Structure 1
């Protein structure tokens, strides 16, 4: 099946430059997924998700969310809803849902900042699978208004050193490094 309209994922990845061989391989897997049909379909053993690190540029703090299933502090994000095709729509919706922040904007622009294929363990409702996570940066001007979506999904504003100390995930630590570079350039 051929689409005449540009696929947002392919357009976003067109100018993206992976930083490592592993990330290059992950980008190739995402592009293959896009070429094969609906990359958002949760029926596929590998499907696209979109996430973002929420930042408050004036204080250089980042917002992490406790992820009960993964038992770790992570960035916000998730699956596309039926009909959603644009990763930026997904990440802005997820950001608003998960933080109650209604002023989130792409920062400093809407470029993809990282691409990571992650294993997801099996749960009671789904088999083990993989997420091809497209990562962005969102900013808020009102960090004090952040509220968790549910009590178990706590939110914490942290300095980048505090955030690094809370996570052992190499891919998330790499995202912190990339965000720190952006804050240095645009802060």
Structure 2
């Protein structure tokens, strides 16, 4: 399910949700995309974001990043930059920026793996809002080259069971369970 043209509407309409909760998030996200000129705009809530779980397939480990604003360990990812519309390309760019890993690639395919609407707390710059997050899995062959983009965003390579114990968000646990199935661990 590649999205080379950035056609999020097409990507979502072809996506098969795993359960009723995800189906509701997909429907809500698709309705927003169809009714909003720029679904990536931070002025819309929810607005699109793209993220990924980074894996090292040879060891079955996953990479998590400390997210200061959310005060928890999360996957990599975030907002599209102006002019960006392809969620996989955004997840790859964010992954490279946040981890320093230059060899990130979709794994085992470029398929969309999870769609979830998540709440984001407000801060001094913006009010509380929601992200409609489009999640992928990316792989690296060079895990030892991972470097945090800043000191307040450390990275941790973990086994999937350890990652499941560490994360606080149920929606990320679900993404990790789907990733574990792909890894066969």
Verify same fold: TM over 0.5. yes
Question: Counterpart in 2 of 1:3?
Answer: none
- What RMSD over aligned residues (CA atoms) do the two structures have, in Å? 1.2
SS of structure 2 residue aligned to 1:108: coil
Q: Deviations over 1:115-152 (max 9, x none)?
A: 00001111000011000000000000000000000001
Q: Distance in 1 between matches of 2:150 and 2:113?
A: 28
Q: Secondary structure at the match of 2:47?
A: strand
**TM-score, with length taken from structure 2:** 0.94
Aligned 8 A contact 2:17 2:26 in 1: yes
Check conservation: 1:63, 1:157, Cα contact below 8 A.
yes
Q: 1:125 to 1:177 in 2, by over 3 A?
A: same
CA drift at 1:43:
0.6
Q: Check the 8 A contact 2:116/2:134 in 1, yes or no.
A: yes
Report 1:142-181 matches (<5 A): 142-181=142-181
Q: In the alignment, is the contact (CA less than 8 A) between 2:137 and 2:179 conserved in 1?
A: yes
User: Moved runs in structure 1, 4+ residues, more than 6 A?
Assistant: none
1:1-187 matches, cutoff 5 A? 7-36=6-35, 37-184=37-184
Secondary structure (helix, strand or coil) at the match of 1:33 reads helix
What is the DSSP-based 3-state SS (H/G/I as helix, E as strand, rest coil) of the residue aligned with 1:10? helix
The alpha-carbon deviation at position 168 of structure 1 amounts to 2.7
Q: Gaps spanning 5+ residues in structure 1: where? A: 1-5
The answer (yes or no) to whether the contact 2:114–2:134 under 8 Å persists in 1 is yes
Segment of structure 1 superposing worse, 87-96 or 164-173: 164-173
User: Following TM superposition, by how much is the alpha carbon of 1:45 offset from its aligned partner in structure 2, in angstroms?
Assistant: 2.0
Q: Which runs of 5 or more structure 2 residues have no equivalent in the other structure?
A: none
SS in 1 for 2:174: helix
Cα shift at 1:8: 1.9
- Count of paired positions: 180
CA contact (8 A) 2:6 2:87 kept: no
Q: Deviations over 1:33-53 (max 9, x none)?
A: 111121101111210000000
